[in-house]
Amino acid sequence: EGQRLLDQAREAADRFRGEEMDRARQEAEAFVERARSDIQRERDVAIQEVRSSFGDLAITAAERVIRRSLDPQAHQELIAQVLEEGVGLGRA
């Protein structure tokens, strides 16, 4: 009778240990998946910020080049041409 109780206690302990290991493994996998999602989201935000900054930088550089290379008459002609072509208005 005593041996049977010991065997049952060992089986219960083994079962409990196995369940706890499974639960810990699942929690670890969920943690890793959340971390991967967070990293991907932060990466996407960083890429978008770089693209936006690069676009702003390109526009600023283009503005400076145009200001330095155009005399007032050429500047007016460029503005008129852009307006006629509808650049940036979805008609280009």
- Burial track 32-52 (b if 16+ CB lie within 10 A, e otherwise): eeeeeeeeeeeeeeeeeeeee
Model's pTM, two decimal places? Answer: 0.50
Query: What's the confidence (pLDDT) of residue 15?
Result: 95
Note the pLDDT of residue 55: 82
Average pLDDT on 15-25 reads 96
Over residues 26-84, the pLDDT tens digits come to 999 999 999 999 999 999 999 999 888 888 888 888 887 777 777 888 878 878 887 88
- Write out the chain in H/E/C secondary structure: CHHHHHHHHHHHHHHHHHHHHHHHHHHHHHHHHHHHHHHHHHHHHHHHHHHHHHHHHHHHHHHHHHHHHCCHHHHHHHHHHHHHHCCCCCCC
